[in-house]
Amino acid sequence: MKIERGMSAYVSGGGSGIGRGISLALAARGVNVGVADIRESDAAETARQITSAGGKAIPLPVDVSDASSVEAAADHIEGTFGPVSIVCNNAGVAMHGVPLHEIEMSDWDWAIGVNVYGVIHGIRSFVPRLLDRGGPTHMVNTASIGGFQVNPNFLTGAYSMTKYAVVALSEALRNELADTTVGISVLAPAAVDTGIHLSERSRPERLGGAYVRPQNHFMGDLIKGSARPEAIGERVAQAIEDEDFYIFTHPETEEWLDRRQASIREAFAKARQAGAGSMAAE
């Protein structure tokens, strides 16, 4: 799909990090951007950077865990800029540093609400609009390299669980929309220099409100000085034009997936030795 000047886009989590990088990259190509973020001041800053550079953008206070908030944003963008052609379900929060059995239910609700339901709400609000739009359109869902493997060195299982779900949702969408003009991509970055380790400051009141979660903060040191969000945004914009489905950003992480695949192949080899297939057929 060729990104054309005058197209309209929705970018959730657009107030900072990868979302800001995507917003700036799209705006540089002449796209009018609806910058959605639960932190309205952050969304306003991204929009200011875009308009200062001669582009068009509007900041939108959006809680992606709330379906009505996403739907209202869709209406607002289309009422301002016309039909949306590009949708980036990018908002996400960290849930690191605690064993799965010790994570509070309020934290499960928050992580699943943003990382999984945020994408689901984007799908429900925008896919019908993209289908009605006619002509090429595109949706990008932000997962993580953690959506393809669980890193054994960190307690990030809850986060990876939500990102595995984003990969599955995206693969299902690709299958379901294969005969349409709606393209689908899933973004799977590794370390990017963002503020995701501080995401608890954005927890909405209905899910417990802002708080300090020091278990996340080790990630700040790990990602400091890593890939820049602007570079990821450029990678995403190019992937939309190239109609790439998987968008990987860190080639060195391929070996992480190779290790997982090796263990899967080993398990299948044991299944063959055990004759599991013939047992299942019986």
Which residues are catalytically annotated? 159
Per-residue CA distances from 72 to 29, 137, 240 (Å): 25, 20, 25
Residue 14: count of CB within 10 angstroms of its CB:
33
In the sheet where 137-142 sits, what is the strand order?
57-61, 32-37, 8-12, 86-89, 137-142, 182-188, 246-248
Contacts of 23 (CB under 8 A, 6+ apart): 9, 11, 14, 33, 35, 46, 50, 57, 233
Task: Report which DSSP code applies to 170.
Answer: H
Cα–chain center distance at 182: 17
Phi, psi of 46 (to 5 degrees): -60, -45
For residue 27, give both structure tokens.
């705006």
Q: CA nearest 123: which of 207, 235, 12, 35?
A: 12
**In this structure, are residues 38 and 113 in contact, taking their beta carbons and an 8 Å threshold?**
no
For residue 50, give both structure tokens.
């875009």
Q: CA nearest 111: which of 157, 177, 42?
A: 157
